[in-house]
Chain A
Amino acid sequence: MRRRAGWIGAVAAVTLLPGLWSSGAARAQSIPIPGPTVETIKKRGQLACGVDTGIPGFAFQDSAGAWHGFDVDYCRAIAAAVLGDATKVRYVPTTTPARFTILQSGEIDLLVRDSTLTMTRSLQLHLAEVAINFYAGQGFLVSKKLGVSKIEELDGATICTLTGATLELNIADFARARGTKIGTLLFEKSDEAIAAMEAGRCDGYTDDTGSLAAVRSTLKTPADWVVLEGVISKEPLGIHARASDINWVNILYWVDTALKTAEELGVTKANVDEKKAGTDPMVKRLLGVEGGFGEMMGLDPAWSYRAIKATGNYGEIYDEFFGPKALDLARGQNKLWKDGGLVYTLPFR
Chain B
Amino acid sequence: MLVLAWAARNAATALTARNMQVDFGFLANPAGFEIPFRVVPWSASDSYGYALLVASLNTALAAALAIVLASVLGLVIALMRLSANPLAAVLARGGTELVRNTPQLLQIVFWYIAVLQVLPAARASLSLGGAMFLNVRGLFMPAPQTPAFAICVGLGVASAIILPRLLPRASLLLGAGSLVLLTALGAMLSPWEVPALRGFNFQGGWRLPPELLALVVGIGIYTSAFIAENIRASIRAVPPGQREAARSLGLSPGRTMRLVVLPQALRTLLPPLASHYLNIIKSTTLGAAIAYPEVLQIFARTVLNQSGRAVETMTLVLGVFLAINLVVSTLIGRWDRRLQRDAR
Contacts and interface: CB of A to CB of B under 8 A. Distances in A.
A, B from the same assembly: yes
B116 A163 contact: no
B203 interface: yes
A168 interface: yes
B210 interface: yes
Given A195-B113, A199-B117, A125 B200 contact: no
A155 B201 CA distance: 10
Interface string B7-39: 000000000001110000000000011101000
Contacts of B117: 199
A157 B201 contact: yes
B292 to A, nearest CB: 9
Given A100-B305, A104-B18, A199-B117, A186 B137 contact: no
Contact of A97 (B20, B198, B203, B305): B305
Interface in B195-223: 198-201, 203, 210-211
B301 interface: yes
Given A185-B36, A188-B289, A101 B201 contact: no
Interface string A96-126: 1101110011100000000000001100111
Interface stretch (B89-97, B238-246, B306-314): B306-314
A279 B32 CA distance: 55
B291 A196 contact: yes
B216 to A, nearest CB: 17
A184 B34 contact: yes
Nearest to B123: A145
B310 A104 contact: yes
A84 interface: no
B305 A183 contact: no
Interface residues of B, number: 37
Given A156-B200, A188-B289, A200 B116 contact: yes
Contacts of A188: 288-289, 297, 301
Interface in B28-62: 32-34, 36, 44-45
Interface stretch (A12-20, A169-177, A318-326): A169-177
B121 interface: yes
B305 A157 contact: no
Contacts of B203: 156
B36 A184 contact: yes
Contacts of B113: 195, 199
Interface string A12-36: 0000000000000000000000000
A67 interface: no
Contact of B36 (A154, A183, A244): A183
A121 to B, nearest CB: 8
A126 B305 contact: no
Contacts of A187: 291
B326 to A, nearest CB: 27
A273 B74 CA distance: 74
Contacts of A99: 305
B302 interface: yes
A169 B308 contact: no
A208 interface: no
A158 B293 CA distance: 15
A280 interface: no
A296 interface: no
Given A157-B200, A185-B291, A186-B293, A199 B304 contact: no
Given A156-B203, A187-B291, A199-B117, A120 B301 contact: no
Nearest to B203: A156
B201 A100 contact: no
A120 B301 CA distance: 16
A175 B44 contact: yes
A15 B3 CA distance: 31
Given A106-B18, A172-B44, A200-B121, A100 B199 contact: no
A201 interface: yes
A165 interface: yes
A120 B300 CA distance: 18
Given A120-B306, A164-B306, A105 B137 contact: no
A73 interface: no
Contact of A164 (B32, B200, B305): B305
A243 B301 CA distance: 23
Given A158-B137, A176-B44, A169 B301 contact: no
A328 interface: no
A265 interface: no
Interface in A64-103: 96-97, 99-101
A242 B310 CA distance: 16
Given A120-B306, A156-B201, A156-B203, A172 B116 contact: no
Across the A-B interface, give the 3 residue pairs with the lowest CB-CB distance, nearest first. Answer: A164-B305, A125-B308, A97-B301
Interface of B: 18-20, 32-34, 36, 44-45, 113, 116-117, 121, 136-137, 198-201, 203, 210-211, 288-291, 293, 297, 300-302, 304-308, 310
19 contacts: A105-B18, A106-B18, A121-B308, A125-B308, A158-B201, A164-B301, A172-B33, A172-B34, A173-B32, A175-B44, A176-B44, A176-B45, A185-B211, A186-B293, A188-B289, A192-B289, A199-B113, A200-B116, A201-B116
Given A200-B121, A244-B18, 13 more contacts: A97-B301, A100-B305, A105-B18, A156-B201, A157-B200, A163-B302, A171-B34, A172-B32, A183-B34, A186-B293, A186-B302, A192-B291, A199-B136
